[in-house]
Structures are given as structure tokens and as C-alpha cells.
Amino acid sequence: MKKISILRNPIQNYAWGSMTFIPDLMGGPVPAEKPQAELWMGVHPKAPSKVLCDGEWMSLPEFIRTDPEGILGESVAKNFSNELPFLFKVLAATKPLSIQVHPNRDQAQEGFARENEMKIPLDAPNRNYKDQNHKPEMICALTPFWLLNGFREIDDLIALTERIGAPALRDQVRLLQGQHVAEGLKSFLTTLMTMDRGTQTELVSEVMHCIEQNSGTDAALEWVVRLNQEYPGDIGVLSPLFMNIVGLKPGQGMYTPSGRLHTYLEGAGIELMANSDNVLRGGLTAKNMELRELLKVLDFMHNQVDILMPVRRGKGEDIYQTPAKEFVLSLISVERGSPFGSSGTRSVEIMICLEGDAQISDLGNGNVLSLPRGTSLIVPAAVERYRIEGKATLCKAAVPL
């Protein structure tokens, strides 16, 4: 069991997904029959990966249970109760995801226990807490990638709404004035989200009319128009007015801690997070929304937009540094005649080949596996060292030691 092994991973067919990106990466028919939104690599009970062991497919959770310390590493097994602590994804969005926030660990544990007591099935559409874990996460752009992340500066928000000139929106923005930032944002967002649907629709309609009369161009106004085309009248279409709009170039990343309002708008990327599927939604969705629960877990402070750039760590590896204890993401690049060699001290690793073709060799037992584009694998911690050769770009998820 303590050898490098190929993974087979489930695909999530959400409506906002791409018909082309993941199928092309995996060598399937393009376009696909249904939108393919996320490729999951991990042990989450909703959709665990499988491992090829001696010619047969075994679930990744079962594979880890055969030897937690050998596969995860001694410290990871000890610190995370013999479980893989991260969920690794390829994400491809052609439409906006829901505006959402993830709970911290205490909130997740309380919410999970509460919904269990209420006997809400784990797969019920009104279930918010599907596990007891928090969900800090990061995205690394593979294509130009647009997202909303956290709240704008109050002055920017006020200036933007003044420029639009919608009287009803001005009335809402007054809630921000003369208050502490967090209290003002909470009052503002609570009022927007708890309006009756008719009032929300009228407000959106008024804002859209004023934007049409606005001669200038602005990314926030352009995204309001685009979101309204997808979700007409949804109060979430106004989110670019009060949230930070971020455009990532390929190779750039962004970290999102628990409690921060965010959504992905468009693009393909690698997503890495703590092993959780807890999502509280606040707009741009037909799924269940528990607004009072969302408002309870939301951090209402303005946050700085910090774009992550990878830092070189040894030959051929660039790492994205975040505060997360559950995961660390890196890109590995190899050229012919210039292989990548692993460190002797490492945790469990999952990799996927994004471009090119490579081979990975276990330097302890001499086993060699081919890594064509779209192939993913797990490297147990007990594998002492390995070498990657060829011409390829790979993305690696691991646990920081």
C-alpha cells in the first residue's frame, strides 16, 4: 500500500460548470453532454476518490485506513485524526456561483449537531452543515479568473452608489454612515437580504435603469449587468457594488478564510480547501438560502485584497503560502533533462498533471508511473523520495509540516 498510486476522481455536474475545460483536461469528449463544474480529489464522503491497488479500485478513505501513518505521515495522522485534511479540486465556471460564506470550526460543529438533532438528512436540499469542519480555501487561476472576495472600503462603496444615482440604493447606503464599519455593513447587508422579494426586484430594476443611463464604464457596473442577465431581479446581482472585484491572471491565487463573503464569477482554476462541503448561500442561486444563518457567521469587516504569487522553493517547485494548517499548494515544472526531485521530509501528496507528459519514479523501489495530462495520483508519506521527469506542469496538494 505504501507506493505511488493512480487516482480516479468523481466529477460534479453543476449547472454553472463548463462543457469543455474539464473534459479537455481529462481527454473526454468535447463538448461534454452535461456541464462539468468540479473534479474532486480527496476523501469527502459526498464523492471520494478511488485508488488503483494491485489492479483493483479501492476508495481513498479505505486506502488510508489500511495504514494512516504510512500514507498520511505520522504528524498528519496524529493532528487530523487519521484523515486526509484537504479537498483538492479542478474548478471550471462559465456562470457565477452562489454568493457564499463558510463557517469556522466552532460554528460548523454547532450547526452540524443542531441539524442532526433536527433529523435533516445529509443530502437534503435544506441542509447547510454537511460536516463538522471549517473551510478555508484558495484558488489558483488556470485561465483568466474573476471573483468577488470580501467587502469594499466604505468610501468606495458610497462613491460607487452615488455615481449610479439610484435613490432607493442611496437610502440603503445611509445605513453605513456614522457607524462602525462592521456594524454599518451588517445593517446594510441585513436590510438588503431580508427585504421581501418584490422590494428587492424593484431596487434591482431601479439600479439597472440608472446603470443604463450611466455613460462611464466600470468593472462593477459591467458585472451587475451580467449577473442580472443570469439571475434577473436577484438581490445578489448588486454584490459587485459592495464587494471587492478581483481579476486573476493564470498562476495568480487568492486565499479565502472562513467567514468571508465571496463567489467565483468566471474562469477555470485549481481549488484547495479544508475537507468540508459546508456552504451558506446569500444570492445568485436557486438552492436553499438560510440568510439569518449566513449573517450569523459572516465577518463584516473590510478586508484587503491580497493576490497570492507563488514563491520558489527549490528547483522546479513554486509554492503558494497561506495560513492554512490543512493544505499547501504548489506548481511543479519539469523540462527534458531537468527533472524534479522530492524532499526527504514530506507529508502525503496528491498531484495532477495539467500540461505535457511526465513519468514519476519511486527511488526506493524503482517503480515508474506515466503521468500524461489529466492523470492524478497519491504519493504516500512513506515513499522516501521520488523523481519526476519529462516535460510537464503539475499541481500538488500537500499538508504543511
Q: Looking at the annotation, which residues are catalytic?
A: 281
Contact between 356 and 340 under an 8 Å Cβ cutoff? The reply is no
DSSP codes of every residue in 246-313 = EEEPTT-EEEE-TT--EEEEEEEEEEEEES----EEEES-SS---HHHHHHH---SB----EE--EE-
Q: Is 281 exposed, middle or buried (0-12, 13-18, 19+ CB in 10 A)?
A: buried
In this structure, the strands spanning 280-283 and 50-53 are unpaired
Taking Cα atoms as reference points, which of 372, 350, 251 lies closest to residue 44? Answer: 350
Query: d(Cα 400, Cα 373) in Å, to the nearest integer?
Result: 26
- Give yes or no for a cis peptide into 31 (omega within 30° of 0): yes
C-alpha separations of 149 from 84, 360, 397 in Å: 27, 37, 23
Query: d(Cα 194, Cα 200) in Å, to the nearest integer?
Result: 9
Q: How many residues does the chain have?
A: 401
Name the E strands within 185-260: 243-248, 253-256
3-class SS of residue 349: strand
Which amino acid type is present at position 256? T
Per DSSP, 75 falls in state H
The grid coordinates of residue 391 equal 516535460
Taking Cα atoms as reference points, which of 299, 301, 320 lies closest to residue 309? Answer: 320
Element (H, E) at 210: helix 197-213
In 66-104, alpha helices (H): 68-72, 74-79
Taking Cα atoms as reference points, which of 185, 286, 277 lies closest to residue 234? Answer: 286
Task: Taking the CA atoms of 207, 208, 209 and 211 in sequence, report the sign of the dihedral they define.
Answer: positive
